[in-house]
Protein backbone atom coordinates (compact mmCIF):
# COMPACT_ATOMS: atom_id res chain seq x y z
CA UNK A 1 0.00 0.00 0.00
CA UNK A 2 2.92 2.39 0.56
CA UNK A 3 4.76 1.56 -2.67
CA UNK A 4 2.24 3.39 -4.86
CA UNK A 5 0.12 6.46 -4.24
CA UNK A 6 -3.58 5.69 -3.94
CA UNK A 7 -4.41 7.31 -7.28
CA UNK A 8 -1.99 4.90 -9.06
CA UNK A 9 -3.43 1.73 -7.52
CA UNK A 10 -5.96 -0.49 -9.22
CA UNK A 11 -8.55 -1.86 -6.81
CA UNK A 12 -7.90 -5.38 -5.52
CA UNK A 13 -11.08 -6.45 -7.32
CA UNK A 14 -9.69 -5.13 -10.63
CA UNK A 15 -6.30 -6.77 -10.08
CA UNK A 16 -7.87 -10.12 -9.28
CA UNK A 17 -10.34 -9.89 -12.18
CA UNK A 18 -7.58 -9.01 -14.68
CA UNK A 19 -5.36 -11.78 -13.28
CA UNK A 20 -7.94 -14.29 -14.54
CA UNK A 21 -6.55 -13.64 -18.01
CA UNK A 22 -4.09 -16.43 -18.83
CA UNK A 23 -1.38 -13.92 -19.75
CA UNK A 24 -1.58 -11.92 -16.51
CA UNK A 25 0.47 -13.01 -13.51
CA UNK A 26 -0.03 -11.82 -9.93
CA UNK A 27 2.63 -13.16 -7.54
CA UNK A 28 3.45 -12.75 -3.89
CA UNK A 29 7.23 -12.98 -3.47
CA UNK A 30 8.75 -14.68 -0.44
CA UNK A 31 12.27 -15.28 0.82
CA UNK A 32 11.73 -18.43 2.88
CA UNK A 33 8.78 -17.38 5.08
CA UNK A 34 9.45 -13.63 4.81
CA UNK A 35 6.95 -11.75 2.61
CA UNK A 36 9.05 -9.56 0.28
CA UNK A 37 6.49 -8.00 -2.03
CA UNK A 38 4.37 -8.47 -5.13
CA UNK A 39 4.71 -8.49 -8.87
CA UNK A 40 1.88 -8.01 -11.30
CA UNK A 41 2.59 -8.29 -14.98
CA UNK A 42 1.07 -9.10 -18.35
CA UNK A 43 2.80 -11.18 -21.01
CA UNK A 44 2.47 -10.82 -24.76
CA UNK A 45 4.40 -12.16 -27.74
CA UNK A 46 7.21 -9.60 -27.33
CA UNK A 47 6.36 -7.72 -24.13
CA UNK A 48 6.21 -8.25 -20.40
CA UNK A 49 4.47 -5.23 -18.88
CA UNK A 50 5.41 -5.02 -15.22
CA UNK A 51 2.51 -3.04 -13.85
CA UNK A 52 3.47 -3.43 -10.19
CA UNK A 53 6.71 -4.19 -8.44
CA UNK A 54 6.11 -3.45 -4.78
CA UNK A 55 8.62 -4.38 -2.10
CA UNK A 56 7.71 -4.76 1.56
CA UNK A 57 8.48 -1.40 3.16
CA UNK A 58 10.65 -3.05 5.84
CA UNK A 59 12.84 -4.73 3.17
CA UNK A 60 13.40 -1.87 0.73
CA UNK A 61 17.03 -1.12 -0.04
CA UNK A 62 18.09 -4.73 0.56
CA UNK A 63 18.27 -5.77 -3.10
CA UNK A 64 14.94 -7.56 -3.43
CA UNK A 65 13.68 -5.29 -6.22
CA UNK A 66 16.84 -5.88 -8.26
CA UNK A 67 16.66 -9.64 -7.66
CA UNK A 68 13.05 -9.76 -8.82
CA UNK A 69 13.87 -7.78 -11.98
CA UNK A 70 16.78 -10.15 -12.68
CA UNK A 71 14.46 -13.15 -12.26
CA UNK A 72 11.99 -11.64 -14.75
CA UNK A 73 14.75 -10.95 -17.27
CA UNK A 74 15.99 -14.53 -16.93
CA UNK A 75 12.45 -15.90 -17.27
CA UNK A 76 11.69 -13.78 -20.36
CA UNK A 77 15.05 -13.33 -22.15
CA UNK A 78 13.54 -12.74 -25.60
CA UNK A 79 10.90 -10.20 -24.56
CA UNK A 80 11.10 -6.54 -23.70
CA UNK A 81 10.15 -5.81 -20.11
CA UNK A 82 8.28 -2.51 -19.87
CA UNK A 83 7.50 -0.48 -16.79
CA UNK A 84 6.07 2.98 -16.44
CA UNK A 85 7.08 5.68 -13.98
CA UNK A 86 5.96 9.19 -13.19
CA UNK A 87 7.76 11.58 -15.56
CA UNK A 88 10.92 13.05 -14.07
CA UNK A 89 10.08 16.74 -14.08
CA UNK A 90 11.72 19.29 -11.80
CA UNK A 91 8.36 20.90 -10.98
CA UNK A 92 7.02 17.68 -9.42
CA UNK A 93 6.55 17.72 -5.65
CA UNK A 94 8.27 14.34 -5.39
CA UNK A 95 11.06 15.14 -7.87
CA UNK A 96 13.81 13.47 -5.80
CA UNK A 97 11.75 10.29 -5.47
CA UNK A 98 11.16 10.23 -9.24
CA UNK A 99 14.88 10.67 -9.95
CA UNK A 100 15.69 7.89 -7.47
CA UNK A 101 13.15 5.56 -9.09
CA UNK A 102 14.54 6.27 -12.58
CA UNK A 103 18.12 5.61 -11.39
CA UNK A 104 17.03 2.32 -9.78
CA UNK A 105 15.53 1.09 -13.03
CA UNK A 106 18.49 2.30 -15.10
CA UNK A 107 20.87 0.41 -12.78
CA UNK A 108 18.75 -2.66 -13.49
CA UNK A 109 19.01 -2.49 -17.28
CA UNK A 110 16.05 -0.30 -18.20
CA UNK A 111 16.28 2.71 -20.47
CA UNK A 112 13.99 5.56 -21.42
CA UNK A 113 11.82 5.23 -24.53
CA UNK A 114 10.48 8.75 -25.10
CA UNK A 115 7.02 7.18 -25.02
CA UNK A 116 4.26 8.26 -22.65
CA UNK A 117 1.39 6.21 -21.30
CA UNK A 118 -1.59 8.50 -20.75
CA UNK A 119 -4.73 7.41 -18.96
CA UNK A 120 -7.44 8.93 -16.78
CA UNK A 121 -5.03 9.09 -13.82
CA UNK A 122 -2.26 10.96 -15.57
CA UNK A 123 0.86 10.54 -17.65
CA UNK A 124 3.69 8.06 -17.18
CA UNK A 125 7.01 7.52 -18.90
CA UNK A 126 7.64 4.07 -20.39
CA UNK A 127 10.99 2.38 -19.72
CA UNK A 128 12.13 -0.89 -21.28
CA UNK A 129 14.88 -3.47 -21.23
CA UNK A 130 14.50 -4.05 -24.96
CA UNK A 131 17.06 -2.66 -27.38
CA UNK A 132 14.25 -1.01 -29.28
CA UNK A 133 10.83 -0.27 -27.80
CA UNK A 134 8.14 -2.33 -29.53
CA UNK A 135 5.25 0.10 -29.15
CA UNK A 136 2.66 -2.05 -30.95
CA UNK A 137 3.39 -5.08 -28.79
CA UNK A 138 3.11 -2.92 -25.67
CA UNK A 139 -0.27 -1.56 -26.79
CA UNK A 140 -1.53 -5.11 -27.47
CA UNK A 141 -0.38 -6.14 -23.99
CA UNK A 142 -2.30 -3.26 -22.38
CA UNK A 143 -5.42 -4.18 -24.30
CA UNK A 144 -5.18 -7.91 -23.57
CA UNK A 145 -4.51 -7.61 -19.86
CA UNK A 146 -7.66 -5.56 -19.28
CA UNK A 147 -9.95 -7.45 -21.67
CA UNK A 148 -10.11 -4.18 -23.62
CA UNK A 149 -11.50 -2.14 -20.70
CA UNK A 150 -8.37 -0.17 -19.77
CA UNK A 151 -8.26 2.96 -21.85
CA UNK A 152 -4.74 4.36 -22.26
CA UNK A 153 -2.81 6.01 -25.05
CA UNK A 154 0.84 5.46 -25.82
CA UNK A 155 2.41 8.42 -27.54
CA UNK A 156 5.52 10.56 -27.76
- Domains, the chain, ordered by start: 6-147 (3.40.630.30)
Summarised one tens digit per residue, pLDDT across range 91-113 is 988 899 899 999 999 999 999 99
- Nearest C-alpha neighbor of 40 from the set 56, 30, 25, 28: 25
**Residue 7, pLDDT score:** 44
**What's the start-to-end Cα distance of the chain, in Å?**
30
Half-sphere exposure of 81 (CA within 13 A, CB side): 23
Half-sphere exposure of 11 (CA within 13 A, CB side): 3
**Residue 145, pLDDT score:** 74
**Residue 144, pLDDT score:** 81
pTM of the model: 0.83
- Nearest C-alpha neighbor of 101 from the set 90, 82, 88, 116: 88
Average pLDDT, the chain: 84
Summarised one tens digit per residue, pLDDT across range 13-35 is 565 556 666 788 988 899 999 99
Amino acid sequence: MTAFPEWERFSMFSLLAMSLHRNVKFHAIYDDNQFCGITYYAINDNTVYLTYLAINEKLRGQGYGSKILTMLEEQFPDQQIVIDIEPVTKKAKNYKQRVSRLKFYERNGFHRTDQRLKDADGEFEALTTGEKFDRNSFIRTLHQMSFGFYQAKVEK
